[in-house]
């Protein structure tokens, strides 16, 4: 059955799709131009594309499925009439090209229909209900997952982009076909990106490199991954791309003899061993070469392994036989062998990798795999795209992909907003991994740089929340310890243990970060709510507004802020998700627009509103954290940093770390002041230089105790000439006066040369 209509012509009728209940095209796609007054009469190239798509689909779809695809094509063609891309092609050529890519992956009829229809909701205001009626709920759901959220008003372009990604990724978690169609869509857009303005090229290329390239890699779609990478590279750094491209072309001629000699030698050696194998020479991607030059600070002439070789054999066992044969032919480079067959990559990739010293001393990389491994390596999850309800029938690749997609849903449940969700997902898209073992020898894959705590949260959220320590390779290790390949990890838990805001400074995985933030938001809700109430009251008072807001204004504020209650708004402010000063200005703006609520002029200092310092008592719980870099104590001048989901971090005003961070995010800093009648003690570090003599440590420790201070840490370092010792104490004091009195007492001890307060 042919997709092409009976007249074999894709003619255009200006705005023919406009109806009383559906407006004409709004052309939201920046790649579109619309000129109803002068449309092209016909598009022969479009007919050719449809013919190619038709030929691909008839290879594996049934006649009844082809009929449904044809209906989707006709509907899409009708909806996009009058639209042309900036390349001058009819817009329908884009959905056809996307469907062709999906057909190469042998996706089912529903996915092909979604590819043809993927822009009709976004560009033509077609409702989901209409798609359900015409093509069924599964197709409509796929198209909806691919459509952007154009109808929602967002505070910024970044927020809109984040929410669109969240919608797409959650739809992908429910049906992997969504991301397969989206990657096909992005691939064709990148292939035709040359017609965009330079700014749009860079923006789209950067988005592709940061999100779509890692997703393609994570799903094992290596062909798409490599092409998207090179296309994005060519638009982000066009001069570097052209220069490197010329260098590679020139190197081809110089190295043709070497490549040919290696190919012949490998083929003859494998044949003599009785191994049936296909041997391919392959050129590394330009971006791969560029990344190696950049990371290792090499010139192009120093990158010797521009070419690699791939050997595809007929059986699992022959992979290792071929490896031994190659090692007998050429000497292997030490430390350059990786067995991804025994331990596959996260995306299901399996191969043996080895680097050998070839003719003329040139390093040569070989990849050895079976035919099935090669199919999965090139097509990834698209090689086994169909999801099944029976977990027992899933392939290993499907199980890995299913687990990752399920983790997206887990993160979504714990995440506050779209930007945070996208941040967590990006963290999990790192291509490099480390492989560690549970005590029962189960392999766990984690991003490079992951810590013991990341491992704990990967096993289960409750284990992460209650973790207190760990044993790595049967030795005690801290939660922040970084894991390495082959580590055996065992987590020590305690039911009373709870996550600390400090954990966010060293965890790497999205699941760990979202779980910790979720705990801090929910468990410490009362503390965060009270802090947020104080911050907003202070900000309102500074602009002459009574913190006790009228009921009508509160209701309007909650509607505009999407908060369910005033306490939720306070909690968002308390954890740093919203800025109190911005909320206060928004409230004033609402009051100024209300003619029934006249406001007095602002009282300002030098033209700016002056905020009174927020009072800190030190008993606010985890909503207020004392910075470890400077450990402020009462009597110090203090300033607060509003950190997302961590409340306020208190620094001393002379803290160098605080000064550096203030220049980066000045809007997130507020003035603080210590309250009166503080009922707790505060950590403080001191360093004492003493004579290296017997009993001096005991005398110093005794004097600190006599001065009514508690010691929580003691350390000792040798001075350069070994005649003196440096004693380091972390002590607990009431305030600066208490600390000054203690330091005077310690300074009188015989053998003490110097004492000072230590700042990180």
HEC per residue, 5-25:
CCCCCCCCCCCCCCECCECCC
| Residue of 122, 163, 428, 454 marked active site | 122
The Cα–Cα gap between 312 and 319 comes to: 8
Enumerate long-range contacts of 393-396, CB under 8 Å, 24 or more apart: 396/344, 396/348
Contacts of 688 (CB under 8 A, 6+ apart): 700, 726, 727, 728, 729, 746, 752, 754, 755
Name the maximum alpha-carbon separation found in the chain: 106
The closest alpha carbon to 361, from 400, 333, 328, belongs to 333
215 by Cβ neighbours in 10 Å (0-12 / 13-18 / 19+) ranks as buried
Contact yes or no for 56/97 (Cβ under 8 A): no
The closest alpha carbon to 231, from 255, 196, 179, belongs to 196
For 33, list phi and psi in degrees, rounded to 5. Answer: -125, 145
What is the SS3 assignment for 307?
strand
Contact yes or no for 183/145 (Cβ under 8 A): no
Contacts of 487 (CB under 8 A, 6+ apart): 434, 436, 437, 472, 473
What is the SS3 assignment for 2?
coil
Tokens encoding 563: 């908060």
Tokens encoding 449: 């740089």
Give catalytic status of residue 230 as yes or no: no
Tokens encoding 77: 């063609």
The DSSP code sequence of 42-89 is --HHHHHHHHHHHHHHTTTS-HHHHHHHHHHHHHHHHHTTTEEETTSS
The closest alpha carbon to 439, from 470, 405, 396, belongs to 470
The closest alpha carbon to 14, from 83, 73, 96, 76, belongs to 83
Give catalytic status of residue 199 as yes or no: no
C-alpha dihedral, 98 to 104 to 109 to 114, nearest 10°: -20
Contacts of 269 (CB under 8 A, 6+ apart): 325, 326, 328, 329
The residue behind tokens 């003690």 is 681
Tell me how long the chain is. 760
Q: How distant is the alpha carbon of residue 640 from its chain centre?
A: 28
| Residue of 77, 123, 175, 420 marked active site | 123
Question: Quick one: which H or E segment has residue 639?
Answer: strand 638-643
Tokens encoding 47: 């007919």
Contact yes or no for 41/98 (Cβ under 8 A): no
Q: Which segments of 298-452 are extended strands (E)? A: 307-313, 331-339, 352-357, 363-370, 433-437, 443-447
> Active-site positions?
122-123
């Amino acid at each position: 059955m042919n997709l092409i209509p009976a007249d074999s012509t894709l003619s255009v009728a200006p705005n023919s799709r406009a109806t009383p209940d559906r407006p004409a095209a709004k052309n939201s796609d920046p790649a579109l131009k619309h000129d109803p007054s002068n449309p092209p009469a016909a598009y022969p190239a479009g007919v050719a594309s449809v013919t190619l798509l038709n030929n691909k689909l008839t290879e594996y779809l049934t006649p009844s499925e082809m009929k449904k695809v044809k209906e989707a094509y006709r509907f899409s063609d009708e909806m996009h009439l009058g639209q042309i891309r900036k390349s001058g092609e009819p817009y329908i050529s884009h959905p056809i090209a996307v469907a062709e890519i999906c057909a190469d992956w042998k996706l089912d009829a529903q996915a092909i229909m979604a590819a043809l229809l993927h822009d009709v909701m976004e560009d033509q205001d077609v409702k989901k209900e209409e798609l359900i009626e015409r093509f069924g709920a599964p197709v409509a759901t796929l198209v909806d997952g691919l459509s952007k959220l154009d109808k929602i008003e967002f505070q910024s372009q970044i927020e809109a982009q984040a929410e669109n990604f969240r919608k797409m990724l959650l739809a992908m978690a429910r049906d992997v076909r969504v991301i397969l169609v989206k990657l096909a869509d992005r691939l064709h857009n990148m292939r035709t990106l040359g017609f965009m303005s330079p700014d749009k090229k860079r923006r789209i290329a950067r988005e592709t490199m940061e999100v779509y390239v890692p997703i393609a890699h994570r799903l094992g779609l290596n062909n798409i991954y490599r092409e998207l990478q090179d296309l994005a590279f060519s638009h982000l750094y066009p001069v570097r791309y052209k220069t490197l491209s010329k260098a590679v072309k020139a190197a081809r001629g110089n190295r043709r003899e070497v490549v040919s000699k290696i190919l012949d030698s490998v083929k003859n050696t494998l044949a003599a061993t009785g191994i049936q194998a296909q041997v391919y020479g392959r050129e590394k991607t330009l971006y791969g070469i560029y990344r190696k030059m950049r990371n290792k600070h090499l010139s192009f002439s120093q990158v010797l392994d521009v070419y690699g070789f791939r050997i595809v054999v007929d059986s699992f066992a022959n992979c290792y036989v071929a490896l031994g044969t190659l090692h007998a032919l050429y000497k292997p480079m030490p430390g350059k062998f990786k067995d991804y067959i025994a331990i596959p990559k996260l995306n299901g990739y399996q191969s043996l990798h080895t680097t050998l010293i070839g003719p003329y001393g040139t390093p040569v990389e070989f990849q050895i795999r079976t035919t099935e491994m090669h199919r999965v390596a090139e097509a990834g999850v698209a090689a086994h795209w169909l999801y099944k309800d029976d977990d027992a029938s899933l392939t290993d690749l499907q199980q890995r992909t299913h687990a990752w997609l399920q983790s997206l849903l887990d993160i979504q449940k714990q995440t506050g907003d779209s930007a945070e969700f996208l941040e967590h997902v990006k963290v999990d898209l790192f291509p490099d991994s480390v492989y560690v073992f549970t005590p029962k020898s189960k392999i766990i894959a984690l991003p490079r740089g992951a810590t013991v705590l990341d491992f704990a949260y990967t096993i289960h959220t409750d284990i992460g929340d209650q973790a207190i320590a760990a044993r790595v390779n049967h030795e005690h290790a801290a939660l922040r310890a970084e894991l390495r390949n082959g580590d055996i990890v065992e987590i020590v838990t305690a039911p009373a243990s709870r996550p600390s805001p400090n954990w966010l400074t060293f965890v790497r995985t999205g699941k760990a970060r979202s779980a910790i933030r979720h705990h801090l938001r929910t468990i410490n809700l009362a503390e965060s709510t009270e802090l947020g109430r104080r911050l907003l009251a202070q900000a309102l008072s500074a602009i002459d507004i009574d913190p006790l807001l009228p009921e009508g204004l509160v209701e309007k504020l909650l509607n505009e802020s999407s908060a369910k209650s005033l306490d939720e708004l306070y909690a968002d402010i308390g954890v740093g998700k919203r800025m109190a000063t911005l909320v206060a200005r928004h409230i004033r703006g609402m009051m100024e627009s209300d003619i029934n609520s006249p406001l007095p002029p602002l009282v300002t200092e030098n033209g700016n509103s002056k905020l009174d310092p927020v009072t800190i008592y030190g008993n606010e719980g985890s909503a207020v954290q004392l910075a470890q870099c400077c450990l402020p104590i009462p009597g110090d001048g203090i300033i607060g940093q509003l950190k997302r989901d961590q409340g306020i971090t208190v620094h001393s005003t002379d803290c160098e770390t605080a000064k550096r961070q203030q220049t980066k995010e000045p809007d997130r800093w507020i003035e603080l002041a210590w309250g009166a009648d503080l009922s707790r003690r505060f950590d403080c570090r001191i360093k004492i230089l003493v004579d290296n003599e017997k009993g001096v440590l005991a005398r110093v420790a005794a004097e600190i105790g006599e001065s009514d201070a508690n010691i929580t840490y003691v350390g000792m370092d040798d001075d350069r000439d070994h005649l003196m010792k440096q004693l380091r104490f972390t002590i607990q004091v009431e305030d600066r006066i208490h600390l000054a009195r203690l330091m005077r007492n310690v300074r009188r001890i015989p053998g003490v040369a110097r004492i000072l307060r230590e700042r990180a």
